Amino acid sequence: MTDFESISPPFENAADTRTIVQLPCGMFVFTEQYLFSESIALNQLSPELVVCEHSGGVLKDFGHGIYGFIPTDGFTGEIHLRCMVEGVVIGVDCHLIHRVHRHVPEQFSRINSQKPTFSYSILSDHSVFISKRQFADALGVPVSVSDHLRIMTVSSPSLGYTVKQTAQYCVVMQDYADRGITPRRCILDVSLFNVTQKTLIQQRLVVDVTLFSTVIPQRLLFPSSASRCTFEQRQLLENTDQLASPILFVEALYSLVQGAIFEPQPSGAFEINYANLVGKVPDLLLYNISDAVDMVGVGVAIPGENDSNIARLSHTMKKWCAIEINKSDLRSAIATPNVDGDTVNLDYSDRLAVQKSCTDIFRLTIPNNGTGREKISVRPSYSCESDALLSFELIFMPNLVYQNCVKRQEENHWQVCRREIEQLVSQRTSKKIRDVDLSCHQALITANSTNFCSVWTSESADQISLNLTVSFDDGSIGFSSITI
């Protein structure tokens, strides 16, 4: 018996890989690495929430950075996802059919998948997210009319489910107390109101929460120094309670990166050679799960380095944008008579790191595990510590690339939408924003109108950091920063 059978050439380098496959049943399986390849804006930051608000199929967040998608009839091949990172929403267009360029072995054709009747998202905690547009599509309302609809009521007669709703979406949650008796399908009674025509549309929908019940996600860890990795049966079968079978065995394992099927050794373990791939190409493993009679499930795993190395890598990646404050901006913000801006000190918590450059710029950073909300107090150098002059709110934005703020970009000229920036910052603070003033140490900023401004650079650049001075309705001032 051979260790593996090659069915397609391996990836030659990391640029060749998109960790996405389509099973013979039609289900797509992809990882967050695929999302990163589709969106520069995510900047390699893992989203806490991913939902699909449009029609086309059912999205499933398995956790572990693994996602599944089962298309409905008439699927065009593209979906639009909304990814949330620390309260900030980034839209990601996914071209699923065009990105799949790996043939999945026929061994996986024995897994069936029911076609969904309408579109929704199943979150990692098993909650179901349904947008207004998805409701409209399920009720046969044209897209042109859906903007005029409002969700009136969504209720469920099914035992074990609770429904929460807004005017734009609803979330169906399983009651933890009733988990043992939760039915496999949830019935929803939906009422939509057409604001223009003053008509009410009502219908009963059925949500199938078991569409992905045969898919078992895993996170497999191995030492970073290992060139050959061994995966035991017990590792691969850790989270298989939902299959409800006393006998389970992994028959074969498929490596997306190596394009090969691996067969078990006499001990039942699988050994994969990652000598030339560790640290370069993220792999996606698929494996058959059998009950000794038939194939009852498919495992999906992302092998990665062990916890210590994951912690090291996450430490090197900055989660929050650094905030840079020019001393002149501080003087303008203080705007208090009889206080010299050159003689002020900053008071701040131990969570905040402050560096002062020779150009009188304060650079403020926080650790990755911070909440992103801090304050600094400015006081004269001659006053006592209790005499804080003024406090400023620090609004740390996730270290994303905010492309939506850029409306036009040329070699040395960027046209930026101020309103987009204001809306982004408003997602990170509970205060009402009156105005946002932009500055940049790398460029000159000129105002075109109340909504747009121009950023002029002396040299062409792929990205630029903008420093923000935020004025709130209550008269207070804050500082923030974003990358565009």
Same domain, 284 and 330: no
Whether residues 246 and 359 fall in one domain: no
Whether 220 and 344 map to the same domain: the answer is: no
The whole-chain average pLDDT of the chain stands at: 83
- Is residue 409 located within the same domain as residue 269? no
pLDDT of residue 336: 56
Please list, residue by residue across 279-307, b when 16 or more beta carbons sit within 10 angstroms of its beta carbon and e when fewer do: eebbbbbbbbbbeeeebbbbbbbbbbbee
**Span 347-356, average pLDDT:** 86
Residue 342 placed within a domain: yes
**Last residue in a domain, options 289, 316, 343:** 316
User: Does residue 206 lie in a domain region?
Assistant: no
Q: Does residue 473 lie in a domain region? A: yes
Q: At which residue do the structure tokens 């207004």 appear?
A: 132
Same domain for 326 and 307: no
The gap from C-alpha 359 to its chain's centroid, in whole angstroms, comes to 37
19 near 34, Cβ under 8 Å?
Answer: yes
* Cβ-based neighbours of 384, under 8 Å, separated by 6 or more: none
- Do 446 and 330 reside in the same domain of the chain? yes
* 16 within domain boundaries: yes
Phi, psi of 303 (to 5 degrees): -75, 140
Judgement on whether residues 37 and 55 belong to the same structural domain of the protein: yes
Q: What is the pLDDT of residues 89-123, one digit of tens each?
A: 999 999 998 888 666 787 777 776 788 999 999 99
Residue 441 lies in a domain: yes
CA neighbours within 13 Å on the CB side: how many for 27?
Answer: 25
More confident residue, 326 or 341: 326
**Structure confidence by residue, pLDDT tens digits, 170-190:** 999 988 655 555 567 899 999
Residues 371 and 479 both lie in one domain: yes
249 and 340, same domain (yes or no): no
Residues of the domain holding 299:
1-116+211-316
pLDDT digits 0-9 by tens, 253-265: 998 888 889 999 9
Domain match, 97 and 242 both: yes
Is 466 within a domain? yes
- CA atoms of 420 and 432, how far apart (whole Å): 15
Q: How confident is the model at residue 306 (pLDDT cuts 50, 70, 90)?
A: low
Most confident of 241-250, 314-323, 353-362, 375-384: 241-250
Could you tell me the two tokens for 105?
């072995």
The confidence band for 347, taking pLDDT boundaries of 50, 70 and 90, is confident
373-380: strand order across its sheet: 344-348, 373-380, 390-401, 477-483, 465-472, 433-439
Q: Are residues 374 and 445 in the same domain?
A: yes
Final residue in a domain of this structure, among 261, 282, 316: 316
Tell me, yes or no, whether 373 and 472 share the same domain: yes
- Cα 80 from Cα 74, distance rounded (Å): 16
Residue 229 buriedness (CB in 10 A; 0-12 / 13-18 / 19+): middle
Residue 199 lies in a domain: no
Tally of domains within the chain = 2
What mean pLDDT do residues 328-342 have?
Answer: 62
Picking from 258, 282, 316, the residue at the C-terminal end of a domain is: 316
pLDDT in tens, 423-479: 999 999 999 999 999 988 888 999 867 789 999 988 888 889 999 999 999 989 999
Any domain includes 261:
yes
**What is the pLDDT, as a whole number, of residue 14?**
42
Mean pLDDT of 266-282: 75
Per-residue pLDDT of 199-255, as tens digits, reads 899 999 999 988 998 898 888 876 656 677 889 999 999 888 888 788 899 999 998
State the SS3 of the chain: CCCEEECCCCCCCHHHCCCEEECCCCCEEEEHHHHHHHCCCCCCCCCCEEEECCCCEEEEEEECCEEEEEECCCCCCEEEEEEEECCEEEEEEEEHHHHCCCCCCHHHHHCCCCCCCCCEEECCCCCEEEEHHHHHHHCCCCHHHHCCEEEEEEECCCCCEEEEECCCEEEEEECHHHHHHCCCEEEEEEEEEECCCCEEEEEEEEEECCCCCCEEEEEEEECCCCCEEEECHHHHCCCCHHHCCCCCEEEEEEECCCCEEECCCCCCCEEEECCCCCCCCCCCEEEEEECCCCEEEEEEEEEEECHHHHHHHHHHCCCECCEEEEHHHHHHHHCCCCCCHHHEEEEECCCCEEEECCCCEEEEECCCCCCCEEEEEEEECCCCCCCCCEEEEEEEEEEEECHHHEEEECCCEEEEEHHHHHHHHHCCCCCCEEEEEEECCCEEEEECCCCEEEEEECCCCCCCEEEEEEEECCCCEEEEEEEC
Contact assessment for residue 385 and residue 76, using Cβ atoms and an 8 Å cutoff:
no
Q: How many CA atoms lie within 13 A of 57 on its CB side?
A: 27
Region for 327 from its dihedrals, namely left if φ exceeds 0, alpha if ψ lies in -120 to 50, beta otherwise: alpha
Q: What is the mean pLDDT of residues 394-402?
A: 94
Q: Which residue has the higher pLDDT, 142 or 309?
A: 142
